[in-house]
Amino acid sequence: MLVLGIDPGLALTGWALVEGHQGGLKLRAAGCWETPAGEPEGERLLRLWESFSELVRRDRPDAVSVERLYFSRNVSTAMAVSQARGVLVCAATLARLALHEYTPNQVKQAVTGNGAAPKPQVARLVRMILGASLKGVPDDVTDACAVGICHQQAAGLRRSLSAGGVR
């Protein structure tokens, strides 16, 4: 299964294609969609939509996993992130992709076993799990990898439970 993990943001949106294969997970590709700060907000959101749609057409992921928002003290940042997230959720739905949402604590729990793990620990384990260096990439990319890993693990658990007759 190929999962597109997304860490939404207006300025930077991290994305990662995390592929599940026999014996583990591997990172197929990852990056950031960046929108220029000086552009009108609508144009920036449209750029995100177009970037997402192009990647989906090209790589054909089986599912999209996106991080749920947590409340922020900076209301203007929270609003911009929620708008970017909404555009990406809508684009995934329009593309008829299975959409899965995870809280930051669920993502940290899946990657590290600790829902309160610090970012450096999450980043270190993401690199280990995916066997990728990820040197010099923004945190948004590492976070998107973590969201993709989270869904791969959740989907694997669901498959195991249904194969064993547990529902």
Q: What are phi and psi of 103, to 5 degrees?
A: -75, 160
d(CA 36, CA 26): 31
CA proximity to 33, closest of 140, 143, 145, 147: 140
Paired tokens of 2: 């190929």
Catalytic site residues?
Answer: 7, 67, 140
Nearest to 149 by CA among 117, 108, 118: 108
**How does 1-35 read in b/e, with b if 16+ C-beta sit within 10 Å?**
bbbbbbbbbbbbbbbbbbbbeeeebebbebbbbbb
Host H or E run for residue 31: strand 24-34
Residue that is written with structure tokens 């014996």 in the block: 23
